[in-house]
Structure 1
């Protein structure tokens, strides 16, 4: 099946059954957070954080971006439910929903309503199951909260929802209104069943991608390796090791064979002739499907986060090459980053999008040689204006990691 485009352009900015849920009664005492914001996590040895501002200044920048994000995008969806408004029409996608669930659990302690929001987002998720597996989420709803464009799932939304539930178990425990840990295990097992190609041990594009070239394709922006490790830890399912190993293998295969000078990864990867390759133009979403565009702009954040949390260095060469390349490409000026590059480094974008410049700050954290560049990206991102749901979400996640406030299951 041909998936309709996930993101639409407005100007130049990209906008891009289940467990029973009981309503929280009036006066119900919500759990105190066990890991309240700020957390000030110690990342892997040798990694760096911005050095030109204080920790308090960084924490305050995250709080400010969260307040703006919540005001713009976190909206009620009927009694006791919340959703993330991802475009001007009031539609949403499971990707956005996963972002909302992650952000609310991470900002608990600063935001006194975080658990209420999280539980409301959880209830919305349970009421929009995929047709293929009731624990996965239908990927898109319109402003009337009706499933549209096929009630099947997208892997990235499923993974973030699952990971957020694991974090919620650590944050609030699972003995309250929602058994977060059981809910997490249910969706993790569903991801293994329907979002993983168990012949190739690759992450599918979604639970729908079971035919033709889609069955063996994968998307590097779904390479949330720290999520995968948490899924194995929570469930004891050793098959996740196969997915983790294969994911690192694909990163390095694409880097070695197609982007040795840049370290960039394409929006989509296909399996052809016994090898993994950048997808052809218009494979799923756009002419840029084989380039570094509005999907893979997230890879510097997603892949680096696993290195920061675990020290797993299997993608470190690729990340270091990418850091070196982008600093040179833009002369260490984050304002010169464009929203799209071919894997050889040539520019195909024209807009300075926060979805692109902010994640480079996360990847810069791998080495002290990037300190000046990291400081510049931090300042530029923290001071940036609102752009849209997609950019603002990625900027907030990037600031959370850069400030040391990401934490793992």
Structure 2
């Protein structure tokens, strides 16, 4: 009888453990594993603002996130969210990618971050590109209808895929959304449709498969930190080809077109076997071959790879870029303007956050920029809000500058 009672007790205990297991798994999956603030350890020699405490920097990022989500993160039906990128209530995949990355990184501070993220994921899944269902149709109107062609833009695709890898590390993939598998599927789709595998260049989107568009690329898409994470997640060595080619294009444009400034153009095209700045009117307007509203992101995107991995292949460019912009502005962030020719002459007249904030990220590459970095941090934190694009880039730049950027 004693043995029977003991056996029944063991069976009862096993049943209780089985019932409790899904509850434990759910909690494990939803509790942030890498909560904000992260205080990442960057590559040797990388600096951060030195005139304010870490706590003050963290609080500044939190305040900017609160303002950003209040202004731009909107519900798009039951359980879904979008990032409004203009006052017509429209959205684009670029904005969606920004929102998904930010939501993952701010988890732990923001208790609603997972709900925001999963809602943005659901919206992305409802708006597939007509060329590959794992990529996102690039633009929707205020009624959430795809407009101007249901094809993808590479920058949005890359940020969404990267966010899925982050989400796996943040919440695990054993919940309702298998973040890791979804991320891998999207990365494979990017390789299939957003990469020109004859040249190993990033396309402008999954639509750019013919004529001069097929070999064109956009330096603001040069998210080398993302691409290294894509290779690590998938084991696909072809990403090394894309990374190497991307650095090669950076070096070519720098050597041939901007050795004195380190500036990159909005668009790059392949002419007679050489990568060159695009001509005026190539895709968006007269400044397509200049440092304008696409290329303004390059100091943030390219420097981030050095900051995280220590890869020095763009360090000479970044060093010259830092020297040029400090001299150009007499060390005053308020003198930075929204547009430059690659030779260094000024095009713009406005002090845009989309331009000055990324220079703060590039300044992190050397201690000789410490005073300049401190000024850029203050200017980025204290300047008035602008529009979706400027405010998004300012928040991302502050995340990196404050030491709160991390990789999967």
Name the TM-score, length of structure 2 as normaliser.
0.93
Once the two structures are superposed, residues 104-141 of structure 1 have per-residue CA deviations (whole angstroms, 9 ceiling, x without a partner) of: 00000000000000000000000000000000000000
Q: CA deviation at 1:270?
A: 0.1
Alpha-carbon distance in structure 2 between the residues aligned to 1:350 and 1:143: 32
SS class of match (2:327)? helix
1:270-299, Cα deviation, whole Å (9 max, x unpaired): 000110000000100010000000000000
**Which residue pairs with 1:167 in the alignment?**
166
**Larger-gyration structure (1/2):** 2
> What is the CA–CA distance in structure 2 between the aligned matches of 1:29 and 1:120, rounded to whole Å?
20
**Alpha-carbon distance between aligned partners in 1 of 2:321 and 2:119, rounded to the nearest angstrom:** 39
2:196 corresponds to: 197
Q: Which residue of 2 aligns with 1:241?
A: 240
2:228 is paired with a residue of what secondary structure? helix
- In 1, distance between residues paired with 2:359 and 2:33? 30
Corresponding residue SS for 2:30: coil
Paired residue for 2:209? 210
Equivalence for 2:221: 222
Q: Is contact 1:30–1:115 with CA below 8 Å preserved after alignment?
A: no
- Residues 71-102 of structure 1: per-residue CA shift (max 9 Å, x gap): 00000000110000000000000000000000
- Once the two structures are superposed, the pairs formed by residues 12-31 of structure 1 within 5 Å of their partners are 31=30
Residue by residue, what CA displacement relative to the aligned partner does 1:282-333 show, whole Å, maximum 9, x if unpaired?
1000100000000000000000001011000000000111000000000110
- Indicate the residue corresponding to 2:15 in structure 1: none
In structure 2, what is the Cα distance between the partners aligned to 1:276 and 1:29?
48
- After superposing on structure 2, the runs of 4+ consecutive aligned residues of structure 1 that deviate more than 6 Å are 27-30
* Partner of residue 133, structure 1: 132
Distance 1:226 1:259, change over 3 A: same
Partner of 1:18: none
Q: Which whole-Å CA distance do the structure 1 matches of 2:270 and 2:264 have between them?
A: 15
Q: CA shift at 1:384, angstroms?
A: 1.3
Give the SS at the match of 1:229.
helix
Task: Give 5+ residue unaligned stretches, structure 1.
Answer: 1-26
Question: Aligned partners of 1:245, 1:374: CA distance in 2, in Å?
Answer: 29
Aligned ranges for residues 315-334 of structure 1 at < 5 Å?
315-334=314-333
Which residue does 2:254 correspond to in 1? 255
* Structure richer in helix, relative to its length: 2
Task: Specify which structure has the bigger relative contact order, considering alpha-carbon pairs within 8 angstroms and separated by 6 or more residues.
Answer: 1
Distance of 1:136 and 1:47 partners within structure 2:
34
Match of 2:108 in 1: 109
Residues 183-219 of structure 1 show CA distances to partners (whole Å, capped at 9, x for unaligned) of 0001000000000000000000000000100000000
Partner of 1:402: 401
Q: For residues 12-47 of structure 1, what are the alpha-carbon distances to aligned partners after superposition, in whole Å with 9 as ceiling and x for unaligned?
A: xxxxxxxxxxxxxxx999711010000000110011
Shift of 1:175: 0.3
The secondary structure found in structure 2 opposite 1:188 is helix
Match of 2:70 in 1: 71
Native 8 Å contact 1:43 1:309 kept in 2: yes
2:3 is matched with which residue? none
Q: Distance in 1 between matches of 2:142 and 2:341?
A: 35
3-state SS of 1:277 partner: strand
Superimposed CA distance per residue, residues 130-168 of structure 1 (whole angstroms, 9 cap, x where no aligned partner): 000000000000000000000000000000000000000
| Alpha-carbon distance in 2 for matches of 1:300, 1:175 | 37
Distance in 1, matches of 2:243 and 2:385, equals 35
Q: How many residues align?
A: 383
Q: What residue ranges of structure 2 are gaps of 5+ in the alignment?
A: 1-25
